[in-house]
Each structure stands twice: as structure tokens, then as C-alpha cells.
């Protein structure tokens, strides 16, 4: 009986891991789209913005937090706003 419980635990962990991997893939897609759109507009991608995007991909930042970090008057953060738009559009 104890072995079955262990197997159930392992199964739940692998399902959770798969869900987490899927969420990360989705966030990575949002970021790739945001970067591509920003590059079309010749918007630079500075190191701080890259760090924010990485934080979003790995789940350290939410869409709302990413949005709060963007500033419409700063071209360098437009990629953040574009990524947020893509994430919300695909929900």
C-alpha cells in the first residue's frame, strides 16, 4: 500500500512538472513575440529589460508585474508592454 502512495505522489509531481513546463513554454512564446515585435520597431533590448523578461519566463514575475515595469515613454520597455499584450491576448 505504501508503494502505491509513493507512485501516486510521483505521478502528481510529474503532472505538476508538465504543467509548469507548459506554462514556461507559453511565457517563453509571449516573450519571443514581444521581442520580435519590438525589433520590427527598432526598439533596443537593454540588459535590465532582458532580466525582467527572464524573470517572467521562469515565473518570478507575473504579467501584472511585468506591465508595472513598462513605461510608455521609454522605448526600451516597449517590449515589456508588447509581451504583456500577447500574454493577455492568448489567455
User: At residue 11, does pLDDT exceed 60?
Assistant: no
C-alpha cell of 90? Answer: 492568448
Cβ atoms 70, 77 nearer than 8 A: yes
Region of poorest pLDDT, from 9-13, 19-23, 46-50, 80-84: 9-13
3-state secondary structure at position 58: coil
Q: What is the pLDDT of residues 38-90, one digit of tens each?
A: 889 888 889 999 999 999 999 999 999 999 999 878 888 889 999 999 999 88
Q: Provide the whole-model pTM.
A: 0.77
HEC sequence for 33-79: HHHHHHHHCCCCCCHHHHHHHHHHHCCCCCHHHHHHHCCCCCHHHHH
Amino acid at each position: 500500500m505504501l508503494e502505491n502512495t509513493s507512485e501516486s505522489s510521483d505521478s502528481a509531481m510529474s503532472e505538476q512538472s508538465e504543467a509548469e513546463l507548459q506554462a514556461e513554454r507559453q511565457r517563453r512564446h509571449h516573450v519571443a513575440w514581444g521581442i520580435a515585435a519590438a525589433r520590427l520597431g527598432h526598439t533596443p533590448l537593454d540588459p535590465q529589460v532582458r532580466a525582467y523578461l527572464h524573470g517572467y519566463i521562469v515565473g518570478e514575475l507575473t504579467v501584472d508585474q511585468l506591465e508595472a515595469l513598462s513605461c510608455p515613454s521609454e522605448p526600451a520597455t516597449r517590449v515589456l508592454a508588447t509581451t504583456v499584450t500577447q500574454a493577455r491576448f492568448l489567455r
